[in-house]
Amino acid sequence: MADQEIKATVLVVEDETLVRLYGMDILEDAGFRVLDAGNADEAIAVLQSHDEVALLFSDIDMPGSMNGLELAHLVHDRWPNIRLLLTSGHRQPTQDQIPDDGRFMRKPWGEQALMAKIREILA
Amino acid sequence: MSETPLDYADLFETAPCGYVLADKDGRITRANATFAQWVGSAPEELQGKRFANLLPIAVRIFYESHVAPMLHIQGSVSEIALDILHTNGNKLPMLVNGTALRDDRGQVASLRFAVFTASQRRNYEQTLLHSRNEAQASVLSERAESELREQFIAVLGHDLRNPLASIASGTRMLLKEQLSERGSMILRLIDGSVVRAVGLIDNVLDFARGRLGGGITLTRDDREPLEPVLRQVIAELQTIGPNHQIEAAFSITEAIDCDRVRMGQLLSNLLGNALTHGAKDQPVRVMAEAAGGQLIIAVANGGEPIPATALERLFQPFFRGDGHSRHEGLGLGLHIASEIARAHGGTLTVASDPRETCFTFTMPLARTAQA
Amino acid sequence: MTHETSGASQNPAPIVESLNARVTGTGERAMMFAHGFGCDQNMWRYVAPAFEDRFRTVVFDYVGSGGADLDAYVIDKYATLDGYAQDVIDLARALEIKDGIFVGHSVSAMIGLIAARQAPELFSKLVLVAPSPCYIDDADYVGGFSRAQILELLDFLDSNHMGWSQAMAPMIMANPDRPELGEELAGSFCRSDPEIAKRFARTTFLSDNRGDLGAIAAQVLILQCRDDLIAPLAVGDYVHGAIPGSELVVMNATGHCPNLSAPEETIAAITAFV
């Protein structure tokens, strides 16, 4: 990976620890800087203290005050520049349920497919 | 033949039904002998009594609030079930027809009642009603139970998938570490187990949902290519049989309007079968091609052919072969695959001979956008 | 199958339609006729027309009776007479009735009292025909029936579908050989859904609405039949005594439905009052 290029920052939000680590792993291998959170509240705290996040990559079903879809809506309202990619193993939201022109990726992720998708969104 | 004049008086008195005549206020002017005998009275004793007074109080309320008004409005009633009191206090179930006769001014002038005994019929009705109520209650409780069952299965599937996803993520991360050959092989086997387990859960959940009336639901669109999805399935399932060669040939040049997740599931079920039951020393061949208005996906393996008798029942749920193979599985994979085919308006067929066994999925490609 | 809807506030069909209300006649004031348990608006067919030349006359069916909308039946709403009173209020308001006359038979008499108390601007005169605030005897009160007898009635209704099913005869039973029946098909009177009828009976015969008697702004006329099993003389006296300023007329008619068995006498008594 070219270390000279400005690395974009992605926030990975997922409550299942190993799955979160794996997602972070894939993204770091693809050259991104990665921040992480275990639920929506933690994610909001991260976003409040880091203004360089370019993409929110979040699971939908999470414990806590809100799920990934609701988090996406909130992020879209408060930080409209942040792109959105949601993921789930159970649900398949329709396009109009995801704010902005946020995208969706079904679990389980193929590594290549996930990296390609994120590069596409941030291009 | 000369006609004998009818003895109307006798016809009235000894009719096979009770006959009661009353004035406009319902006071009995004449009751026939049959009726009198049924209620244990002499006909003269009934004269002057209110017809309604022959009914138990509860039935009288019904009579005054519903039957009497109907007579006045409609002019007649029929098949009214009433209990009539015998002088000994017993209630006699009866069916009553009534008519109201009007005078020149259109006012009700008199009433006539024909009365039939109905205790057997009433018993029969009671039994029917009782059975019906019981049946209704049991339907309700069955429905409640099956809702619970469905929720349970959904939660179970959900809860099972999470730890499996964790294990899969962990093994994939470990595979990137510095490991011995043996270590890597073990991780790949673990991964293969997870893939099989997830496939099982998917099939079981689908089956449960299908049986409970949901059927296979699809979310179709053509916004993303199909080939990567199929390739990913092959990559995943390779972990089940790491030394079993899989040859893939793809020729899909256009966007396919389908449910890609379901397509993946279909291929996964077919490929899983091929890897499990096919000869290990012969490659499994996967072909996917969009041509001539159709999408065709085929999976072929070598090995013992499937007997003709089994071929007929292959796509039925829980069909597990004849016990020859060690790996029987749940018997759901092919059934689900055929349901997915059907939901897409396509077919899934099988051909099996000593040379190869081949499952072929064919689906017409929609030319126009779906409504 | 029970007919239930969750919450009455989900865009209900216009009340005039769902209660099968018919408005005829002309006049400044309106006269609303309400049927009692066991029948429908047809029970006023000999009485209501007599007032059409002077009043805007309204007849209707309660939910679950006659031609009213069965789907509008909500178990909780109609478990007490208040639910029925609400329908009366809603209908009166929809028809813009003010200072009107309410004529209620049997249980409708109490329904009218409840409605008039809640919305006094709707009705300035009430005619209570064969009313009873409570059917079950109690300490010093003579309602006319013991609790056991009322429960027996409810049981009897439970097993007497035959009695109602005749009323629910489908339209195809109309006799094509007798076209003079015209729109009045046999079996289309006093219709009721058997399940709803049972519940209406429960509500009617088990409630104690003595508390709804008492002083009321509207003028009240009580028409009492001489020999009425369901609303006996003692009850008429009780109601009369409990509503200060009310008028009691004991009719020659017998039975519980003078509007059917003695329409002329009923018309005369009401005419004198309005």
- Residue in A closest to B174 by C-alpha: A22
A61 or C31, higher pLDDT: C31
Question: Is C246 annotated as catalytic?
Answer: no
pLDDT-derived band of residue A53, with 50, 70 and 90 as boundaries?
very high
Q: Among B193, B215, B237, identify where a domain stops.
A: B215
Name residue, tokens 């509503």.
C243
State the helix-helix crossing angle for B333-343 and B260-277, rounded to 10 degrees.
Answer: 150
Q: Looking at the structure, do residues B102 and B139 belong to the same domain, yes or no?
A: no
Please indicate whether, in this complex, the C-beta atoms of A110 and B169 are within 8 angstroms of each other. Answer: no
Q: Looking at the structure, do residues B209 and B223 belong to the same domain, yes or no?
A: no
pLDDT confidence of residue B5: 85
pLDDT confidence of residue B309: 83
Q: Among B182, B197, B215, identify where a domain stops.
A: B215
Euclidean distance between CA atoms C79 and B42, whole angstroms: 45
In the predicted model, is pLDDT for residue B213 greater than 70? no
Euclidean distance between CA atoms C136 and C207, whole angstroms: 9
pLDDT confidence of residue C182: 37
In the predicted model, is pLDDT for residue B341 greater than 60? yes
pLDDT confidence of residue A14: 95
Q: Looking at the structure, do residues B223 and B206 belong to the same domain, yes or no?
A: no
Is residue B151 less than 8 Å (CB to CB) from chain A? no
Does residue B317 lie within any of the structural domains?
yes
pLDDT-derived band of residue B325, with 50, 70 and 90 as boundaries?
low
In this complex, which of A29, A89, A92 lies closest to B165 when CB atoms are compared? A89
Euclidean distance between CA atoms B329 and B276, whole angstroms: 10
Contact between residue B191 and residue B164 where contact means Cβ atoms under 8 Å apart: no
Q: In what order do the strands lie in the sheet with B91-102?
A: B28-31, B18-23, B108-117, B91-102, B76-85
Residues of B in contact with C228 (CB under 8 A): 64
Structural domains in chain B (count): 3
pLDDT-derived band of residue B11, with 50, 70 and 90 as boundaries?
very high
Does residue B127 lie within any of the structural domains?
no
Please indicate whether, in this complex, the C-beta atoms of B125 and C254 are within 8 angstroms of each other. Answer: no
| Interface list for B 335-364 with A (CB within 8 A) | none
Question: Is C228 annotated as catalytic?
Answer: yes
Is residue B176 less than 8 Å (CB to CB) from chain A? yes
pLDDT-derived band of residue B369, with 50, 70 and 90 as boundaries?
very low
In this complex, which of B162, B176, B261 lies closest to A16 when CB atoms are compared? B162
What are the DSSP E strand ranges found in chain C? Answer: 22-24, 30-34, 56-59, 100-105, 123-129, 219-227, 247-254
In the predicted model, is pLDDT for residue A98 greater than 50? yes
pLDDT confidence of residue C173: 33
Does residue B128 lie within any of the structural domains?
no
Q: Which fold has domain C15-273?
A: Rossmann fold (3.40.50)
- Alpha-carbon distance B83 to nearest alpha carbon in chain C (angstroms): 9
Question: Is C3 annotated as catalytic?
Answer: no
Establish whether chain A is in contact with chain C, requiring a minimum of 3 CB pairs below 8 angstroms.
Answer: no
Number of C-alpha atoms within 13 angstroms, CB side, residue B114?
11
Q: Looking at the structure, do residues B245 and B331 belong to the same domain, yes or no?
A: yes
Q: What is the CATH architecture of A12-122? A: 3-Layer(aba) Sandwich (3.40)
Q: Write out the H or E segment, with its range, that includes residue C109.
A: helix C107-118
Beta pairing partners, C134: C208
Contact between residue B168 and residue B197 where contact means Cβ atoms under 8 Å apart: no
Please indicate whether, in this complex, the C-beta atoms of C229 and B64 are within 8 angstroms of each other. Answer: yes
pLDDT confidence of residue C166: 41
Does a cis peptide bond (omega within 30 degrees of 0) precede residue C194? no
State the helix-helix crossing angle for C81-94 and C107-118, rounded to 10 degrees.
Answer: 60
Q: Give mean pLDDT, residues B141-157.
A: 82
Question: Structure tokens of B4?
Answer: 């004998």
Q: Among B117, B147, B162, identify where a domain stops.
A: B117
In three-state form (DSSP H/G/I as H, E/B as E, the rest C), the secondary structure along B116-174 is EECHHHHHHHHHHHHHHHHHHHHHHHHHHHHHHHHHHHHHHHHHHHHHHHHHHHHHHHH
Q: Where in the sequence is the domain holding B104, given as residue range(s)?
A: 8-117
In this complex, which of C42, C163, C187 lies closest to B62 when CB atoms are compared? C163
Q: What are the CA-CA distances from residue B250 to residues A123, B285, B364, C263 (Å)?
A: 29, 11, 17, 89
Q: What is the DSSP string of B32-84?
A: -HHHHHHTT--HHHHTTSBGGGGS-HHHHHHIIIIIHHHHHHHSEEEEEEEEE
Helix, strand, coil percentages for chain C (3-state, nearest 5):
40, 20, 40
Q: Give mean pLDDT, residues A32-55.
A: 94
The domain spanning residue B69 has which CATH number? 3.30.450.20
- Alpha-carbon distance C255 to nearest alpha carbon in chain B (angstroms): 7
Name residue, tokens 């059975």.
B131
pLDDT, tens only, C133-178: 999 999 889 999 999 999 988 888 776 654 444 433 333 333 344 4
The alpha-helical segments, DSSP class H, found in B175-257 are 181-211, 227-238
Q: List phi, psi (to 5°) of C108.
A: -65, -25
pLDDT confidence of residue C4: 40
- Residue in B closest to C228 by C-alpha: B64
Residues of B in contact with C162 (CB under 8 A): 79-81, 95, 125
pLDDT, tens only, B163-199: 998 999 999 999 889 999 988 888 888 888 888 888 8
Q: Looking at the structure, do residues B85 and B196 belong to the same domain, yes or no?
A: no
Q: pLDDT truncated to tens, each residue of chain C (274 aa)?
A: 334 444 444 445 688 888 999 999 999 999 999 999 888 899 999 999 999 999 999 999 998 888 787 778 888 889 999 999 999 999 999 999 999 999 999 999 999 999 999 999 999 999 999 999 999 999 889 999 999 999 988 888 776 654 444 433 333 333 344 444 334 444 456 777 777 888 888 899 999 999 999 999 999 999 999 988 899 999 999 999 999 999 999 999 888 999 988 899 999 999 999 8
- Alpha-carbon distance A121 to nearest alpha carbon in chain B (angstroms): 14
Is residue B66 less than 8 Å (CB to CB) from chain C? yes
Q: Write out the H or E segment, with its range, that includes residue B29.
A: strand B28-31
- Alpha-carbon distance C186 to nearest alpha carbon in chain B (angstroms): 7
